[in-house]
Structure 1
Amino acid sequence: MTRFLDLVHPAAGTALMSEWLTGSAGRSRAAADAIAAEWAAAGTPSGRLAQHIFLDTDGTGLLFYAQWTGDEEHLAWARAHRAGTVSRVDTLVPGIERPGLRRTRLERSVVHDAERPAGVFVVTTLAAAEAESAVAPAPGLLAAHVHLTSGGDRAIVIGEWTDAAARTEAATGTDPFKRYTLHHAS
């Protein structure tokens, strides 16, 4: 599987994360394919550097990870085009829940093993002050990428793990997390 640093665009001023809850693997794939088709048909807007879709390993949703040159460029696109793009996807896959968009910036990456392939990406949200515990070496943790929310009080950590079992074994039971695999990158 692709490593996360292969997806990071060095010119990104903001990284956006949005979860879509679909309820099933079939609906998740249909929504992912529909939005990928929308992106391909519309072309790349000014300021968008990269867009990636991750499928939740339990089949119930998607995670979008988009990198833009800055918030202003994304907001201009969203005002002009988001409603039409999302409504076309909703016509094909009705009832998608969208808990909200998180504006972040990649603060740092800690790579423990650059050689082994990642089997799963794990997303954990925690207080920014607790991010250090999420990047500490652990059996099966290949790398951790700390994103700070725009307010700086929360951290979203994307961990690269050898497999889901290694992450589950390392879990302390106190931090909720979701597991994803890369579905589409552009």
Structure 2
Amino acid sequence: MSMTRFLDLVCPAAGTALWSEWLTGTAERSRAAADALIDEWAAAATPSGRLAQHVYLSMDGAGLLFHAQWTSDEAHLAWARARRAGVVSRVDTLVPDIERPGLTRTRLHHSVVHDAERPAGVFVVSTRAAGDVEATGVPAPGLLAAHVHLATDGGRAIVVTEWTDASSHEAATAGDVSFKRYTLYHSFVDDV
């Protein structure tokens, strides 16, 4: 099954991109948490300043990854102060004991696209030191593109790579387990 390409999800007007992982433990809990949150988003008024919100399911079933794009950090923080606790508490009622390691605020630094035509089969996400991203996107069989997001704290980068399939990624990384593989589950793109 092919997925949307990452650059199709990028909103040019985004002043900030947010990444947040939720660890649920099982594929069933991940899907239940994602569905509960999607229902919350669908029922609520569109927050001022939110441009897009994407939900990814981890391929190992252990969790979710959220990628949100807002016009600014200030717009997101205003929403978080007013609404986040209510949304999260309703999800936690349905799926208790979700671990949330934290939120990373980023800006898209650069993308390297090797093949814009073939469909992506898997997104691979890793966190690296900001100084260790120069070699990101070196061509490899099955690597379609790499996208580097620098954290606003200056020390880290989130790197999203697109691969034709998981086996191409596995072959290229020789069993490295520092990566997490995801498939896109749902997207909200807000009219602004």
Which TM bucket (shorter chain)?
over 0.9
**TM-score, normalised with respect to structure 1:** 0.97
Give the C-alpha shift of residue 174 in structure 1: 5.8
RMSD: 1.1
Size of the alignment, in residue pairs? Answer: 186
Aligned to 1:64, which of 54, 63, 66? 66
Who is 1:16 aligned against?
Answer: 18
1-side partners of 2:46 and 2:165: how far apart? 33
> 2 CA distance for matches of 1:64 and 1:177?
16
Once the two structures are TM-superposed, the CA of residue 136 in structure 1 deviates from its matched residue by 1.1
The aligned residue for residue 3 of structure 1 is 5
Deviations 1:64-120 (A, max 9, x none): 000000100000000000000000000010110000000111111110000100000
* Mean CA deviation greater in 167-176 or 70-79: 167-176
CA contact (8 A) 1:142 1:162 kept: yes
Please tell me whether the aligned partners of residues 124 and 175 of structure 1 are also in contact (alpha carbons under 8 angstroms).
no
Does the residue aligned with 2:111 lie in a helix, a strand or coil?
strand
1:86 corresponds in structure 2 to: 88
CA distance in 1, matches of 2:44, 2:166: 35
- Aligned-pair identity (%): 73
- 1:128-167 matches, within 5 Å, as 128-167=130-169
Q: Does structure 2 retain, via aligned residues, the 8 Å contact 1:126–1:175?
A: no
Q: Counterpart of 1:113?
A: 115
For residues 119-147 of structure 1, give each alpha carbon's deviation from its aligned partner in whole angstroms, at most 9, with x where no partner exists. Answer: 00000111112112221111111001100
Gaps of 5+ in 1: none
* Alpha-carbon distance, 1:175 to partner: 6.8
Contact 1:145–1:159 (Cα < 8 Å) also in 2 = yes
Match of 2:50 in 1: 48
Q: Is the 8 A contact 1:142 1:160 kept in 2?
A: yes
Q: Name the structure 2 match of 1:182.
A: 184
The answer to whether 1:37 aligns with 2:64 is no
Give the partner amino acid of 2:89. S
Q: 1:43 Cα shift? A: 2.1
- TM-score in terms of structure 2 length: 0.94
Q: Which runs of 5+ in 2 are unaligned?
A: none
Amino acid corresponding to residue 68 of structure 1 in structure 2: W
Instruction: Map Cα deviations across residues 139-167 of structure 1 (whole Å, 9 max, x no partner).
Output: 11100110000122211100000111111
SS, match of residue 132 in structure 1 = coil
